[in-house]
């Protein structure tokens, strides 16, 4: 075990106060940090909102060396890097879509000690350029975020995550901290095995959320019940909907009934997503109707209700999303609205997640053709993904194309990065003599270089985010002219220019293969399908229970035992409570926001529809 001399143990409370302004850690944070500072490999299993990022940020700053952070979520990485930099802490991220020059620049900055944090997407760990710099990186800690992605038993397995073990083998002296919000006991053991822990060391936070009321409701009119919730539960809310068009429908419905609402999904332009998120965070919009693209890295503590209009495929996803409510410790609700046909649709969704090999080959071939990728080329190259164009080219349904890409990702052939706003950026790669000569003598591009240098300092050291429209106004040029000449300078290798992109991307992890010879391990595919079915059945059991406390069900699923029922969920209330809206002394003043009698009527109608008999007239 790698240990730190207690006599020189850093003052982590001072670090916390200096950089974050807090006097105390949240539950389990200090235990995790002390374990890391003692040099022990550690798996921290903390629920959503438990403050996982501080568990590696504080000890890394206390040790004064580099922390390598592995994360699959580009948007979350960018958010954390921007937040650290705003605090005066040096941090960079290496993600798909960056140029070779940008990656080399970031790695060299890390190697010479200029950075405190280097965020890396897992597929980049195996690249030659990273492997060449790895021995020189002054590492104090390797932090593996979203560590459930390491396990084939988990709900979001990503083969590229297994590259972390190769990093450990080359730097065995550096302790690892793995973090996740959702892992069953089986997954936790698998994570520690995959990361080659020197000794089993699981630190698990309490998944019990006494401020979060779990409530499931069955009925026909989901939008009507949604409106009842917004009427009875004041404050900010998130409505999760599976499909993009559903987010628009839900937001319009709420707006029509006087609730300030907006839709959010990955298909919206980046500016619009930013506007919606900002308005919701600032309280200008009360409710966001969103796909699961919304939520990761959202730092808003006063969410009073999280409402699922469609059931997720597994309890891990559900509890992670529901856990975004009540982070301020005050009462909040997690509603699951269930309608006729939801169970059948969920089963069909899981079945469709495993397409036939012929369709996978078809998608792979079409993607290579659309991007002009020759046989044997494309390894570690990143390409934009247009799902609808790919579906049109293959004549397959968009959902089939999406699942085919996921199958290729699970087989380790590529990695998909969901759409995350990437602003335009520039890094000067030529030496100062070349740049000076162009500034003075090149009337075509000289003014542009001059403007870049005036607007952005340090362009020779690291990339800067630029605004082509602002540069165009300064030069009295058209914005398209600015973009065209930036591309020209990029081709001349004077600078590296990456224009803004909001599209999802695919990075090939292997050279392009002949699609007709492409294979997917059938045994692995069957295993993944069986595990997906098992997780789905657990979700269905949660949806359909009428006699088990929902909180106890969730805690048991994640390996925690509760000796008593919560007394707050709809199942517990159905046994004991006097139903109806009433003052409970909580921050919301709501006990049963859907009301038992109206919920029972809805259930009777649903059951009557299912068996083909009309409900009793006096219950209508």
Query: Is residue 383 helix, strand or coil?
Result: strand
Asked whether residue 416 falls in the same domain as residue 441, the answer is no
Residue 533 in any domain: the answer is no
Residue 603 has a pLDDT of: 42
Query: Is residue 494 helix, strand or coil?
Result: coil
Q: How many domains does the chain have?
A: 4
Asked whether residue 83 falls in the same domain as residue 198, the answer is yes
Domain end among 184, 204, 224: 204
Q: Is the pLDDT assigned to residue 58 strictly greater than 80?
A: yes
β-bridge partners, 332: 212
One DSSP character per residue, 114-149 reads --SEEEE-GGGGGSHHHHHHGGG--EEEEEESSGGG
Residue 43 in any domain: the answer is yes
Q: Is the pLDDT assigned to residue 50 strictly greater than 80?
A: no
% of the chain with per-residue pLDDT over 70: 90
Question: DSSP letter at 387?
Answer: H
Helix (H) or strand (E) holding 20: helix 12-20
Residue 311 in any domain: the answer is yes
Token couple for 373: 């990728």
Residue 468 in any domain: the answer is yes
Higher pLDDT, 485 or 300: 485
Q: State the CATH number of the domain containing residue 273.
A: 3.40.50.300
What's the pLDDT tens digit per position in 18-49?
999 988 998 899 999 999 999 999 999 987 76
The C-alpha atoms of residue 577 and residue 567 are separated, in whole angstroms, by 9
Helix (H) or strand (E) holding 67: strand 66-70
Residue with tokens 């332009």: 269
At 10, the pLDDT band (50, 70, 90 cuts) reads confident
The C-alpha atoms of residue 369 and residue 348 are separated, in whole angstroms, by 31
Range 194-197 contact pairs with CB under 8 angstroms and sequence separation of 24 or more: 194/150, 194/151, 194/161, 194/162, 194/164, 194/165, 195/41, 195/144, 195/147, 195/150, 195/164, 195/165, 195/168, 196/165, 196/168, 196/169, 197/41, 197/43
Asked whether residue 311 falls in the same domain as residue 388, the answer is no
Domain end among 164, 187, 204: 204
Residue 538 in any domain: the answer is no
Residue with tokens 């959503």: 48
The C-alpha atoms of residue 224 and residue 270 are separated, in whole angstroms, by 31
At 297, the pLDDT band (50, 70, 90 cuts) reads low
Asked whether residue 145 falls in the same domain as residue 14, the answer is yes
What's the pLDDT tens digit per position in 315-353?
999 998 998 999 888 999 999 999 999 999 999 999 888
Structural domain including 191 reads 6-204
Residue 55 neighbours by CB distance under 10 Å: 28
Asked whether residue 174 falls in the same domain as residue 96, the answer is yes
- Buried b or exposed e, range 447-480, using 16+ CB within 10 angstroms: bbbbbbeeebeebeebbbebebeebbeeeebeee
Residue 209 has a pLDDT of: 87
Asked whether residue 451 falls in the same domain as residue 515, the answer is no
Residue 365 in any domain: the answer is yes
What's the pLDDT tens digit per position in 384-437?
888 889 999 999 998 899 999 989 988 889 988 765 567 788 999 999 999 999
Token couple for 412: 């380790």
Q: State the CATH number of the domain containing residue 409.
A: 1.10.10.10
What's the pLDDT tens digit per position in 113-154?
999 999 998 888 988 899 999 999 999 999 999 999 888 787
The C-alpha atoms of residue 554 and residue 538 are separated, in whole angstroms, by 10
The span from the first CA to the last CA of the chain, in angstroms, equals 68
Write the secondary structure of 245-299 as one string of H (helix), E (strand) and C (coil). HHHHHHHHHHHHCCCCEEEECCCCCHHHHHHHHHHHHCCCCCEEEECCCCCCCCC
Residue 11 has a pLDDT of: 87
- Compute the average pLDDT of residues 577-603: 44
Residue 537 in any domain: the answer is no
- Compute the average pLDDT of residues 494-517: 88
Cα three-residue angle 560-566-572, rounded to 5 degrees: 130
Q: Which of 298, 281, 297, 291 is nearest to 236 (CA)?
A: 281
Asked whether residue 368 falls in the same domain as residue 255, the answer is no
The C-alpha atoms of residue 312 and residue 530 are separated, in whole angstroms, by 17
Residue 454 in any domain: the answer is yes
Asked whether residue 482 falls in the same domain as residue 517, the answer is no
In angstroms and rounded to an integer, the radius of gyration of the C-alpha atoms of the chain is 26
Kindly report the pTM of this predicted structure.
0.77
Asked whether residue 407 falls in the same domain as residue 432, the answer is no
Contact 228, 593 (CB under 8 A): yes
Asked whether residue 62 falls in the same domain as residue 188, the answer is yes
Helix (H) or strand (E) holding 508: strand 505-508
Q: How far is CA 149 from CA 156, 276, 418, 555, in A?
A: 5, 29, 15, 21
- Compute the average pLDDT of residues 191-217: 92
Asked whether residue 485 falls in the same domain as residue 404, the answer is no
Q: Is the pLDDT assigned to residue 506 strictly greater than 60?
A: yes
Phi then psi for residue 148, to 5 deg, are -60, -20
- Compute the average pLDDT of residues 249-273: 90
Asked whether residue 385 falls in the same domain as residue 449, the answer is no
Query: Is residue 428 helix, strand or coil?
Result: strand
% of the chain with per-residue pLDDT over 90: 60
Token couple for 132: 């060449």
The residues near 282 (Cβ < 8 Å, ≥ 6 apart) are: none
């Amino acid at each position: 075990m790698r240990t730190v001399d207690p006599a020189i143990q850093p003052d982590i409370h001072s670090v916390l106060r200096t950089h974050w302004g807090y006097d105390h850690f949240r539950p389990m944070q200090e235990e995790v940090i002390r374990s890391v500072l003692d040099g022990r490999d550690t798996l921290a299993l903390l629920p959503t909102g438990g403050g996982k990022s501080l568990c590696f940020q504080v000890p890394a700053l206390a040790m004064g060396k580099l922390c390598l952070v592995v994360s699959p979520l580009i948007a979350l990485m960018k958010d954390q890097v921007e937040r650290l930099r705003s605090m005066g802490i040096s941090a960079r991220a290496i993600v798909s879509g960056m140029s070779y020059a940008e990656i080399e620049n970031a790695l060299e900055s890390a190697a010479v000690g200029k950075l405190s944090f280097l965020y890396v997407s897992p597929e980049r760990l195996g690249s030659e350029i990273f492997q060449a710099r790895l021995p020189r990186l002054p590492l104090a800690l390797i932090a593996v975020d979203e560590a459930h992605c390491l396990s084939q038993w988990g709900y979001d397995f990503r083969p590229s995550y297994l590259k972390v073990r190769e990093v450990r083998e080359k730097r065995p002296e550096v302790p690892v901290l793995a973090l996740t919000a959702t892992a069953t006991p089986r997954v936790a053991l698998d994570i520690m095995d995959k990361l080659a822990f020197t000794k089993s060391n699981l630190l698990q936070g309490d998944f019990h959320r006494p401020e979060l009321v779990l409530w499931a409701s069955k009925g026909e009119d989901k939008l009507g019940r949604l409106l009842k919730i917004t009427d009875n539960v004041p404050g900010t809310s998130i409505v999760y909907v599976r499909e993009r068009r559903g987010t628009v429908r839900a937001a319009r419905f709420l707006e029509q009934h006087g609730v300030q609402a907006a839709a959010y999904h990955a298909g919206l332009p980046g500016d619009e997503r930013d506007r919606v998120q900002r308005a919701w965070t600032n309280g200008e919009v009360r409710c966001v109707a969103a796909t699961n693209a919304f939520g990761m890295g959202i730092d808003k503590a006063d969410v009073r209700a999280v409402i699922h209009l469609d059931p997720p495929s597994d309890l891990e996803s559900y509890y992670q999303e529901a856990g975004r409510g009540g982070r301020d410790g005050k009462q909040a609700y997690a509603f699951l609205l269930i309608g006729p046909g939801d169970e059948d649709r969920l089963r069909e969704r899981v079945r469709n997640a495993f397409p036939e090999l012929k369709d996978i080959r078809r998608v792979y071939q079409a993607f290579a053709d659309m991007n002009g990728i020759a046989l044997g080329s494309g390894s570690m190259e990143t390409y934009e993904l247009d799902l609808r164009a790919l579906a049109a080219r293959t004549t397959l349904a968009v959902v089939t194309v999406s699942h085919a890409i996921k199958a290729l990702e699970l087989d380790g052939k590529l990695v998909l990065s969901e759409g995350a706003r990437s602003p335009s950026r520039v890094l000067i790669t030529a030496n100062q003599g070349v740049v000076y000569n162009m500034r003075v003598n090149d009337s075509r591009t000289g003014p542009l270089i001059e403007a870049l240098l005036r607007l952005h300092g340090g362009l020779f050291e690291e990339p800067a985010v630029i605004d082509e429209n602002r540069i165009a106004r300064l030069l009295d040029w058209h914005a398209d002219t600015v973009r065209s000449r930036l591309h020209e300078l990029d081709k001349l290798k004077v600078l590296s220019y990456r224009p803004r992109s909001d599209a999802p991307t695919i990075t090939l992890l292997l050279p392009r293969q002949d699609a007709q010879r492409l294979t997917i391990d059938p045994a692995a595919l069957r295993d993944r399908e069986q595990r997906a079915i098992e997780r789905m059945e657990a979700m269905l059991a949660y949806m359909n229970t009428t006699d088990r406390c929902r909180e106890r069900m969730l805690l048991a699923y994640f390996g925690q035992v509760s000796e008593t029922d919560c007394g707050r969920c709809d199942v517990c209330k159905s046994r004991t409570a006097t139903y109806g809206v009433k003052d409970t002394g909580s921050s919301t003043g709501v006990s049963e926001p859907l009301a038992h009698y109206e919920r029972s009527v809805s259930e009777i109608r649903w059951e009557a529809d299912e068996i083909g008999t009309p409900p009793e007239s006096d219950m209508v």
